[in-house]
Structure 1
Amino acid sequence: MLYIFCLLSPLLYLFTSPSVASEPLSTEAAMEAVALPEVDVVAEVNGQKIGRQELSELLIESFGEQALDVLIRRAIIYQQAQKLGITVDPQEVTERLNKLLDGEINALVKARGMKDSSELAEEIKQMGMDLPTMRERMAARIRKGMETELLAEKIVERTVIVTEEELQQAFEEEYGEKIEACQIVVSTKKEAEDLLKKLKAGADFETLARNESIDRLSAAGGGRIRPFGPKEGVFGPATAKLEKGEISDIIKTDEGYHILKVINKKPRAHEKFKDVRPELEKLVKQRTVKKRLGPWLASLLERADIKKYLATY
């Protein structure tokens, strides 16, 4: 949800940088640039000075509407937090930032096919920066947005009442029996029937998943999907009686026609409900807050008296 409270992703600038074609200045414009007070100069290019006003105009032209919406959302959330007496500890913000940045950096390492962050650090070093400095700059860029997000979560959390039914459901999801499976998804029943014949004839499931499945997210991992319980959704009952390595019949959903292969079955964990209840309450609250956050903010925006003057800037 951070995108609601920040202008841009912190990794947007890591290995790309915006380039703006600059036309030659007229003699008058060049004289004006040279005459700029030093405090208003943000850069010099071969003696030509670029002023703060020029930078501001470009940023407003490029991101003005989007940035203004971010500031409006932040203002509304801070007003609501002040009204309710809700604050955020700076340490909370730092901890959330570190968790986010660790995830972003790990994702970048994986996306670039690197072994670990040391390879990323070396690549960043070649760009004239070090990894700790990069983290600091990323954190500074999104810290205000993170603080706003935490405030919003705390406000919404006050409205959440966790029921016993939700706790029991969460307990089953977290500690109940789990089926690990991979899938192939196609658009038509005929395609699914043809694939099922190939699988029964000995075709490799993961290879077919990578090449034929229309769900490209799972296809990239050979069809692997999130583990599910034997009573969960459509997949649970359809695979509950299958043994490891067995293949399901064709399963119809809104996404298409699925064929599943059971990779493993994990038995119910030994934890007792009463022992993990506090953890479950926290988990259910987090899920509910995440689900309610968007509609809650939209409702605040609808009721707020907002006037925009950017068009007349």
Structure 2
Amino acid sequence: MNTQIIAHAFGRRDWGITGDDVLAALDEDCKSLGMTRTQFAKDVLPRHGKTLDEWAEDVVVPRLMLARLCQAKMPPITEAELRRAFDAKYGEKVSCRVITWTKDKGTEAQGAYERIHENENEFSDYARRQSEPALASNGGRVLPISRTPTINGDNATHRAAVKLKAGEISPLIKTETGFIVVKCDRVIPADKSKSFEAEKPMLLPEVVNARLEKEIPKLFDELKREAKPKFHLAFTDAMVLPKPLPAPKK
């Protein structure tokens, strides 16, 4: 049904998608995964129970249609957005470690914070023992965080990290999913070898994709409201509902 909603909206525009468009998008996906199209078909698609043609039809084509529909409604990319993307990519960053707790661990988080916020050994030990496996395996280390947020990168971790200097630790922060604390280990200087004017052509598709990632879910919700899909189930044979078994006697 979702694909039909997208196709109906796309068809009204009298647009088309070529085989080259599909292959280019597929190759871009493979590139982001660090594999060839052949490897993707062999190692990834079997987990989804699809052939390469089925993946193209069920996943790639609807995504391309949504992207085209979304781009048609988006205002042009501004110089300010490109500058922000440049600063986020090449500007000053902070190297941090993060510890997280789930919503139900508030008391534990508060107690742990009292021990770790002024003691590096305690922080380091707890970061390796935290309940989030991906963080624990790396001692809480995350990728460097830019002082300038990307279009989709303004979250609790970022807001806590950008205020810190080397050696500082954030307060215990409540988030939608639980609690976090962030410690800044060092500040990474901006890359002065990069020029904004020289990088602008490469930044443009990155900003467009970031915009699309943010706006496509909104557009799809809008298309569903406009389509007003109705569900109707028809069965050739009427079935009698089973009678529930009597409760066992105590």
TM-score (norm 2): 0.70
1:248 matches 2:169: yes
**Aligned amino acid, residue 82 of structure 1:** G
Percent of pairs identical after alignment?
A: 17
Secondary structure at 2:15's aligned position in 1? Answer: coil
In structure 1, the gaps of 5 or more residues are: 1-71, 107-116, 118-129
Q: Is the 8 A contact 2:92 2:187 kept in 1?
A: no
| Shift, 1:204, TM fit | 6.9
> Partner of 1:84: helix, strand, or coil?
coil
Indicate the residue corresponding to 2:244 in structure 1. none
- What is the match of residue 278 of structure 1? 201
Report the alpha carbon displacement of residue 257 of structure 1 after superposing the two structures with TM: 4.1
Matches of 1:298 and 1:204, distance apart in 2: 43
Cα 1:309–1:139 change in 2 (3 A) is: same
Deviations 1:95-152 (A, max 9, x none): 333444566697xxxxxxxxxx8xxxxxxxxxxxx76996995312311121111111
Q: What are the ranges of 5 or more consecutive residues in structure 2 without an aligned counterpart?
A: 150-157, 237-250
| 1:251 Cα deviation from its structure 2 partner | 4.6
Number of residue-to-residue matches in the alignment: 213
Distance 1:75 1:148 in 2: 9
Please give the alpha-carbon distance, in whole angstroms, between the structure 1 residues aligned to 2:170 and 2:66. Answer: 45
The separation in 2 between residues aligned to 1:267 and 1:102, in whole angstroms, is 27
Match of 2:51 among 138, 141, 145: 138
Distance in 1, matches of 2:67 and 2:8, equals: 14
Q: Name 2:81's counterpart in structure 1.
A: 166
| 8 A contact 2:93–2:147 mirrored in 1 | yes
Aligned residue type for 2:169: S
Look at both structures and tell me which one has the larger radius of gyration over its CA atoms. Answer: 1
Q: What corresponds to 1:90 in structure 2?
A: 19
Partner of 1:208: 126
Q: Deviations over 1:83-103 (max 9, x none)?
A: 213222212212333444566
Further displaced range: 268-277 or 246-255: 246-255
- Is the 8 Å Cα contact of residues 192 and 257 (structure 1) preserved in structure 2? no
Q: Is the alpha carbon distance of 1:249 and 1:158 closer, same or farther for their aligned partners in structure 2, counting shifts above 3 Å?
A: closer
CA distance in 2, matches of 1:235, 1:216: 21
Residues 97 and 139, structure 1, Cα contact 8 Å, conserved in 2: no
SS for the counterpart of 1:151 is helix
SS at match of 2:17: coil
For 2:191 and 2:74, locate their aligned partners in 1 and report how far apart those are by CA, in whole Å: 29
Matches within 5 A, 1:116-265: 138-145=51-58, 146-161=60-75, 162-186=77-101, 187=106, 188-199=109-120, 202-203=121-122, 205=124, 207-212=125-130, 214-230=131-147, 232=149, 233-239=158-164, 241-242=165-166, 246-254=167-175, 255-262=178-185, 265=188
- Displacement, 1:288? 1.2
SS at match of 2:173: strand
1:156 is displaced (CA, Å) by 0.5
Residues in 1 aligned to 2:44 and 2:122: alpha-carbon distance in whole angstroms: 48
Q: 1:164 to 1:312 in 2, by over 3 A?
A: farther
Equivalent residues of 1:178, 1:227 under 8 A apart? yes
Deviations 1:213-252 (A, max 9, x none): x54443343212232223554234432x31xxx3525353
Q: Distance in 1 between matches of 2:203 and 2:31?
A: 25
CA pair 193-211 structure 1, distance change in 2 beyond 3 A: same
Query: How far does the alpha carbon of each residue in 1:55-105 deviate from its partner, in whole angstroms, 9 at most, with x for none?
Result: xxxxxxxxxxxxxxxxx2212222222221322221221233344456669
Residue deviations 1:247-302, cap 9 Å, x none?
52535342424041425624334222122222222212111111111121111111
Task: Output one character per residue of 1:165-195: Cα deviation in whole Å (capped at 9) or x when no partner.
Answer: 2222111111111222221234333321112
Alpha-carbon contact 2:87-2:148 (below 8 Å) kept: no
- CA 1:249 to 1:302, structure 2 compared with 1: closer, same or farther past 3 Å? closer
Partners of 2:86 and 2:196 within 8 A in 1: yes
SS in 1 for 2:181: strand
